[in-house]
Amino acid sequence: MDNVRVRFAPSPTGYLHIGGLRTALYNYLYAKKNGGQFILRIEDTDRTRFVEGAIENLIDSLKWAGIDYDEGVMVKDGKVVEVGETGPYIQSQRLDIYKKYVDELIEKGYAYYCFCSKERLDKVREEQKIKGMVPKYDGFCRDIPLEEAKKRIEAGEEYVVRLKLPRNKDISFEDAVRGRVTINTDEIDDQVLMKSDGFPTYHMAVVVDDHLMGITHVVRGEEWLPSTPKHVFLYEVLGWAAPTFVHLPTVLNKDRKKLSKRQGDVSVEDFKNKGYLPEGLVNYLALVGWSSEDGEEIFTLDEMVDKFTFERVGKSGGIFDVEKLNWVNAHYIKQYQTEKIAELSMPFMVAEGLMTEEEMKSNWDWYVLLIETVKESLSNLSEVPEKVRFLFGDLNITEEEAKEELAGEQVPDLIKAFEDELSSIEEVDQEFANGVMKKIQKSTGIKGKQLFMPIRAAISGNVHGPELKNIIYLLGKEQLLKRLDEAKAFRK
C-alpha cells in the first residue's frame, strides 16, 4: 500500500460537531494503523459562514480529545500557524491555485461561464418542481461560445463557472463502506465550481486540495456521497488518480434524525462543559457506526487503532445514545485518579454555589474524600454537586423510607448515644468515623439495619448512599450535632 495520507477538513463555522469529531477520529485511527499521516485542513471558502475564533476552537477540541495530527493548521504560542510541506492548509489562501485549474477546465471544454441571475435560477427551479422534476440547472449558458463569454466578462457581466458534465453517462466508484456506487450524470447538476466572488465551491477546492496534498483516502460524512461522482469526474478530466472514498454513516438521535442543536448537545464543547471525560466521549463515539470484531466496547485510543477497520463501519446511521455514553464515561471516571476527578469537578461545585475554589483548595484532602465518596455513582462530572448536596446546608429528609426509619422507637436512644460519643472528642477524625458505630452498638445493644438505617437517615436524610463512615468524617462534629438535633425535630 502507498503511504496512507488522510485529512480532516472542517469549516470554521463555530464549534466542532461531535459528528465531525467522529470523522476526525476515524481518520486518525486509519492513519495510525497504517503508519500514515493525518492532516488538518480548514475549508473556509464559504465566507458568509466564517466565525471568528472557530479555527482555534476546532484545534482545541481535537487536542482535548487526544486526537493528534501530523500536518496542517496548528496553534503555537497562541497563534494559528501552518506546519507541513503541502500547504497552505487554509483554503482562502489558495485562491490562485484553484483559479489555475478552473481556467484549465474551461480551456479543455470541461467547464463553462454561466451568466444566469439568481432570479432566473430560482424561477427555473420553481418550474421544475411544479412539473415534478429534480430541480437543477437547465444548461442555459452551456453552449455560449468561449470568445463570446470572455467578451461579456470584459464588459463587466457577473458570472460563475460551472462544471460541464457529459449527458447520460454512468459514473461509478468504489466506496470502502458502501461498495460500488453508480450515478448517472442526468441526475446531477452542472455544479458551480467558482463563485462570482472568485472563491471556489467545496467541490472544486476539495478535489484540487486532496490531489495536491497527496490524500489517499477521503474519509467524510455520507452527506457528500451524492456529490462524489462530480469529484470523480473532475479527477478524470484533470488527469489525476482518484483517492479511495469512505463515506461514514450519519450520527443520528434516538428518533433517527440528524443530531441538531435544537435537540440539545451536539458540539464537543457541550459535552466537555457537561463534565464528560475525553476518553469517555471518544471511546463512545468510536462505537457510533463502528464495532470491533471481538464485541469489546471499552478501549483506549491505542487499542482502537489496533482493532479499527473500515470493513466494520456500518452503512446505516449510528444512533447517539446518551445513556450508553454515560455508561462508557462512568467507566473512565472510576479509572481516573480521584485527585484528578476532584480537580475537574471544581468548576461545577463553584457554579452551583456549594463551595468556592479557595475552600476546596484549602481543604483539599477533605474535598478529595468527598469526591471519593460519590465517585462510583457518577456518569459525568456535572452530576457532582447533586450527588454531594446532601452534605451541605440543613438536614433535608424527603424520602418516605427515611422518615419511617426515624420514627422507630429505638431512635432517641441512638441519637443520644451518638451525641455522647461526639461530646467526648475535640474533632471527628478518621479513627472516630471508622469506630463510632461499633461504640453506639455496644452502648445501646441495637445492631444491624435497626442501627445503621436510622443513623444514616438522621445525618444524611437518606437510607441509601455512600459509605457511612465517610459521611460521618466529612460532616464533622459541629454539623453532626446540628443534624442530630434536626433529626429529633423530624420525630415530633
Does 79 show up as a binding residue in the annotation?
no
CB 26 within 8 A of CB 313: yes
Half-sphere exposure of 252 (CA within 13 A, CB side): 15
Q: Which of 264, 273, 298 is nearest to 284 (CA)?
A: 298
Residue 353: which residues within 8 A CB-CB, separation 6 or more? none
Does 141 show up as a binding residue in the annotation?
yes
The one-letter amino acid code at 391 reads L
CA 90-207-163 angle, to 5 degrees, is 120
Q: What is the torsion angle, in degrees rounded to the nearest 10, for the CA atoms of residue 215, residue 218, residue 224 and residue 230? A: 50
CB 430 within 8 A of CB 442: no
Q: Which of 99, 230, 239 is nearest to 166 (CA)?
A: 230
261 noted as active-site residue:
yes
Grid coordinates representing 355? 463551595
CB 325 within 8 A of CB 281: yes
Does 261 show up as a binding residue in the annotation?
yes
CB 18 within 8 A of CB 268: yes
CB 125 within 8 A of CB 140: no
Q: Which of 65, 19, 75, 3 is nearest to 42 (CA)?
A: 75
| From 129, 151, 261, 438, active-site residue | 261
- Binding-site positions for ATP read 261
Q: Which residues are catalytic?
A: 261
Residues making up the annotated binding site are 114, 116, 141, 143, 261
Which positions make up the binding site for Zn(2+)? 114, 116, 141, 143
